[in-house]
Each structure stands twice: as structure tokens, then as C-alpha cells.
Structure 1
Amino acid sequence: MRTFMIAGVSAAALLALSACNSGEDATNTAVNAEATTADQAATPAADGTVVEVAQGNPEFSTLVEAVTAADLAGTLNGAGPFTVFAPTNAAFEKIPAADRQALMQPAQREALQGVLTYHVVPGRLTAADIASQAAANNGSVELTTVEGGILTLRETNGQWVITDENGSTSTIAMADVPASNGVIHAIDTVVMPN
């Protein structure tokens, strides 16, 4: 099983928005972080970084706000590539408002960075890559996040479910949103590190 190391991507990874599932198999798979250059070229690049793509989608406004509060925009605008499991606004709304507001305060910047970077994996991992890696590992794949924690992905009833280190789950609602420095997979629930 391959692990991935990412630098400085935290709660910003929460950018993963919970969009409607297209139902395609490719939508339900993810990319292997150690994909070859040829594999990476197969994923179309967009005209903006993961941050710019998120800024252009109103479903990611809370994520963009969190990335800014965590001072991670510069990192996520970097060369990457990054795979971001980005929570949508609806995903953030599942967190009690008082907790969300507290996390956005300057005194909590380090904690927010940890949450956001837990949503980011090094490399450009498409849904197909994730599916391929899972197929080689008894149906699941463990990805090491930039934060240093592990996310476990497994296909369940035609959807990719992410399990965090606390046993909580999130579903990839939309996969393979291209960016110039990576790929975004929108998720319906914020995942949390230990």
C-alpha cells in the first residue's frame, strides 16, 4: 500500500465540496499518489490552482474562508500536485456553528491547519487511480495525508466512503474536479484527525 506525504495542506483540504454524484465508475475512484507522469498527464489540468478552483465555486466558500484563516492559500497555490478531499459548505454546516467560528479564530490557526491538511494528500489521485489501488488491496486503500494521518477509502454501494482515524465517515459526492496543481474530490462531511 502506498502512502503519501503532503506539506502544509490542512483544513483547506476541506475544500472538497459535496456535489451530486454523477454515478460513473470513474467518479467513484481515486488516483494513486505515486502515479506515473503519463498517468498524471491523463488527468486534465484546469486553468486554476486548487484554491482558485475552490474560489470559483460558491459551494466551497466556507472552505476558502478556512484556508485563508489557516494561512494555507500560499501552500495550496504551490506546484503540488495535491489531491484535496474538499468539504462543501453543507459539510461544514454539520459542525456546530460555535465550533466552526472558534476554529476560524487566529488563536486556533494551528488546529485549523491540522484539520485542513488532513484533507490533502500528495500527488494527483484521480478516482480511477483510487479504484485501481483499492482493487490491489482487498477493496480499500489507505492514504497518508499532509497532516500525517491516515484516511481509508472503500467503495460501498457504488460510492467511495472515506473513514477518518476516529471512525467517522464521509462520502465523495463529486470526483475529479481538475486543477492546474492537482485534483479536488468534493466530500459531504468534514473528516477529522486524531
Structure 2
Amino acid sequence: MKNRGLLQMSAIAIVAFFIHGCAGSDRVNGNDTTISQTQTMGGDAKEEPAEINYDEMFESIGNTKQFDIVALANSNQNLTTFVNLIEKADITDVLKSKGPFTVFIPTNKAFDHLSKTELEQLLQPENKVRLIKVLQAHILPNKVYATDFKDAQRIKTADNKRINVQVSPDKTVTIGGARIVKPNVEVSNGIVHIVDDVIMATEATQN
């Protein structure tokens, strides 16, 4: 019961930071940007079509601005793993709140890049801290468009790691090893970028 209470208190603090912690510019400035800790990811992968037409990904729902981040993810069968993970982690209320947030949502296929053992370990209650560190790499507490990212930019995490950003000559953005395949999906509480891998942070001392 004590541990559960601490996790609930942490979730409240996380929501407070996300809502109030970036009360400045909505854009990324310079080569270093900071993201805060959030809570966890967890869930079971489901099948998805072999090929995804990213251009038509949200066509059936019309104006995406009428949906929050969670509702948008719920609208597409290729994002069911992400939905299941945030539900099991009790983070849905955070991603339904006012924001603004930028969320990088991996497709179901992206989560296949984690081994079955890795995913199962992350889902264990005793590994909740590890889950926090995985999910925090996918959430920025402000509104960031794909064009705001700069090549060689570094995003700092709350645990003093970094996420490296690469921008190719054709303006494709890769963040923490995950390529943005559907950028700049506007939602009521921020921006969603669909990515093709799970974002990974590296030690800040690494080059």
C-alpha cells in the first residue's frame, strides 16, 4: 500500500509539471531541450496490417483537433499497443489533460523491435521505474512541430540522459533512433508524431 501511495503521489506531481512546467515558448530553442519524468508504459501487442499508409492514417476521423492524444491513439488500429501500455500504466488521464504535449507514438510494429523478454520485464510491477524512463522519452511537455527540430539537437531527460535528434537533407526527423513517419498531427492538447521505433535515451556522457 505504501508503494502504491508513492506512485499515486508521483503521478500527481507529474501532471502538475506537465501543465505548469513549460509556461514559456511552445517551440524548441537551441540544441538542448529538457523533458520531464512521466509515468509508465505497459500492455500487450496486437496485430496490425503489414503496411501502413501513413498519409491516410487518420483520414476516417476527419479533423484530428477534436480529439485529445488518447482519443486519437484509440482511433487507429495500428496504435493499439501504445493505448494498452498507457492504460495499464494509469497515464491516460495525464495525456487527456490540457497540456500542451508533444507525444511520439510508436506503431504496434515499432514495439516489435523490443524482444518479448524485454517487454515482459518492463511490464513487471517491480520494474515500474524502468517503465517510467522508457515512456518519458516519448513525451515533451510543450508543443513541438517536426520543423522545430534541428540536426544534432539533444533532448535532455529528467534522469540526466539524452535523446539525439537527426534531421536528414530531405527533412526527415529521427529522434532517439525512431523515424517520424507521420508528423504534426494536431490534437486538442498538443501535437502527435507517429514513429517507427521505440525511442531510446543514451547516457549524457556518450558522444
Cα pair distance change 1:71/1:113, threshold 3 Å: farther
Alignment-derived partner of residue 36 in structure 1: none
Cα distance in 1, alignment partners of residues 100 and 189 from structure 2: 5
In the TM superposition, residue 105 of structure 1 has moved relative to its aligned partner by 2.9
> Which structure: larger Rg?
2
2:163 pairs with one of 127, 130, 151: 151
Instruction: Tell me the distance in 2 between the aligned counterparts of 1:11 and 1:146.
Output: 17
Q: CA separation of 1:10/1:122 partners in 2, compared to 1, >3 Å: closer, same or farther?
A: farther
Local SS of the residue matching 2:34: coil
Q: Could you tell me which runs of 5 or more consecutive residues in structure 1 were left unpaired when the two chains were aligned.
A: 13-17, 23-43, 164-168
- Which one-letter code corresponds to 1:140 in the other structure? A
Q: Which residue, 79, 100, 123 being the options, matches 1:104? A: 123
Q: Aligned letter for 1:5?
A: I
RMSD: 2.6
Aligned residue identity for 2:153: V
Matched positions, count: 156
The amino acid across from 1:186 in the alignment is I
Displacement of 1:98 after TM fit? 2.5
1:130-153 Cα distance to aligned partner (Å, 9 max, x none)? 2xxx2xxxx332223466642222
User: Which consecutive residues of structure 2, in runs of 5 or more, have no partner in the other structure?
Assistant: 1-29, 43-50, 56-62, 203-207
In structure 1, the residue corresponding to 2:36 is in which secondary structure? Answer: coil
In the TM superposition, what are the counterparts of 1:22-41 in structure 2 within 5 Å? none
Once residues 19 and 175 of structure 1 are traced to their aligned partners in structure 2, the CA distance between those partners, rounded to angstroms, is 14
CA deviation map 1:105-150 (0-9, x unaligned): 33323321220111111211111222xxx2xxxx332223466642
What is the TM-score of this pair, normalised by structure 1? 0.69
Deviation at 1:185, TM superposition (A): 0.8
Q: Which residue type is aligned with residue 152 of structure 1?
A: N
Taking the aligned partners of 2:109 and 2:184, their CA distance within structure 1 comes to 19
1:83·1:122 contact (CA, 8 Å) conserved in 2? yes
Relative to structure 1, is the Cα distance of residues 125 and 186 closer, same or farther in structure 2, using a 3 angstrom cutoff?
same
| 1:181 alignment partner in structure 2 | 189
Give a deviation string over 1:3-52, Cα, whole Å, max 9, x none.
Answer: 2333526548xxxxx96566xxxxxxxxxxxxxxxxxxxxx971122111
Q: 1:3: which partner in 2?
A: 33
